[in-house]
Amino acid sequence: MRRLFAAFLTICLISCNSETNTYNVDGLAEGFEENTPILVYTVANNQPVVIDTLIVTNGKFAGKLDKVEDPSIHYLNIEKYKGNVLFFPENEDLNVTLYKDSIQSSVVNGGSQNESYTQFSRKLRAFNVQKQSNIELYRDASAAKDNAALVRIQKANKELVAEETAFKKDFVSTNNNSIFGVMMLSEMLSRKEITPAEASKILGNLSPKMAASPVAKQLKTVIEGLRKSEVGGIAPGFSAPTPDGQELALSEVLGEYTIIDFWASWCRPCRAENPNVVRVYEKYHDKGLNIISVSLDKEGQKERWLKAIKDDKMNWHHVSNLKFWQEPIARTYGVRSIPATFLLDEQGTIIAKNLRGPALETKIASLLGRQ
């Protein structure tokens, strides 16, 4: 009986010890100096937070990290070498290999998400090597004025880009339980490599746990904004504070044609485009053109916003919540880069998007130049 009890106790102890609240990280640090600190970061509320520091000893490092319940993004930062190594905690032990001379080639093994991310990264690096080779071939053919070679290289590169896009689409479609897949989907949407409808379909097939993650919810909001703000749709209504603190609604400023202009005082491309917008406004305002600019300036920098309006002679309607990229109007319209413009008719229907330079004046002239 004593032996049976002892065996039972041993089994219990082993079982209890295996159900810890941590998982192990074991790594090789090839080429790194002794005592090099490796910072472990998580991302919370879109901000990096250090959760541990691991020290290189005899070319190795190790530690224990707290298990997490929700899908999370972590990364290792080797500050001295200005490199980050992304990984996804799945509460499984991790094996890491860091390369001093090639941080981007470093690998994290452990868990399905890390395995799929590693495979994805390798494939993408292969695409980049091919694209770089095409750039060099194109440069040589251009120097030699070999037009036939230039056409051939351009065709090959176009096919390569199409192959890469197809690979990424397949990845985000098949990795429905990967937070990196959602991140990749967001980037593809931003690069216009995938349509809002395609992205929405992929989001609809996420696992319940991943669909409930903040990154998936945020992407869903962006997609909804993009679909609402497509050409042919009715521009979503909004109101926001003007420079003098009064609330101004889009419905109050609609003219025969109206431009919603997303910009910021810190945005150099926006400031470079402003003289063109000013010229078009001055030429066509009396004929029915109105503009309302929505600034993505930051909280505490209202004076910079006001100074830019004055300096650039933007004598039309302005609003802003001074919330940077969290500007609710920008999020409603799915704006992820600036400058961004939406051209509305008098009913508030979006008839064109992102017209800049000569294209903006040509379009407005075709609408109001007759008057």
Closest CA to 188 of 207, 208, 167, 206: 167
Please tell me the CATH superfamily of domain 239-368, with its number: Glutaredoxin (3.40.30.10)
Average pLDDT over residues 330-355: 91
Provide the pLDDT for residue 8. Answer: 44
pLDDT, tens digit, 9 for 90 and up, residues 258-275: 999 999 999 999 999 999
Provide the pLDDT for residue 19. Answer: 55
Q: Tell whether the model's pLDDT for residue 169 goes beyond 70.
A: yes
Provide the pLDDT for residue 214. Answer: 84
145 phi, psi to nearest 5 deg: 55, 40
Other residues' Cβ atoms within 10 Å of the Cβ of residue 175: 22
Provide the pLDDT for residue 219. Answer: 87
Which has more confidence, 230 or 155? 155
What's the CA gap between 26 and 351, in Å, rounded? Answer: 56
With a pLDDT cut of 90, the percent of the chain lying above it is: 63
Q: Tell whether the model's pLDDT for residue 1 goes beyond 70.
A: no
Average pLDDT over residues 18-40: 88
Beta bridge partners of 55: 37
Other residues' Cβ atoms within 10 Å of the Cβ of residue 119: 11
pLDDT, tens digit, 9 for 90 and up, residues 46-58: 788 899 999 999 9
Contact residues for 224 (Cβ-Cβ < 8 A; gap 6+): 334
Domain 20-106 has CATH 1.10.357.10: no
Average pLDDT over residues 244-252: 93
**Which tokens sit at 224?**
């909804």
pLDDT, tens digit, 9 for 90 and up, residues 108-136: 999 889 999 999 999 999 999 999 999 99
User: Where in the chain do CATH 2.60.40.1120 domains reside?
Assistant: 20-106
Q: Tell whether the model's pLDDT for residue 150 goes beyond 60.
A: yes
Average pLDDT over residues 170-182: 88
User: Where in the chain do CATH 3.40.30.10 domains reside?
Assistant: 239-368
Residue that is written with structure tokens 């997490």 in the block: 68
pLDDT, tens digit, 9 for 90 and up, residues 50-81: 999 999 999 999 999 999 888 888 999 987 77
What's the CA gap between 225 and 219, in Å, rounded? Answer: 10
pLDDT band at residue 277, thresholds of 50, 70 and 90?
very high
Q: Tell whether the model's pLDDT for residue 9 goes beyond 60.
A: no
- Give the predicted TM-score (pTM) of the model: 0.66
Provide the pLDDT for residue 370. Answer: 61
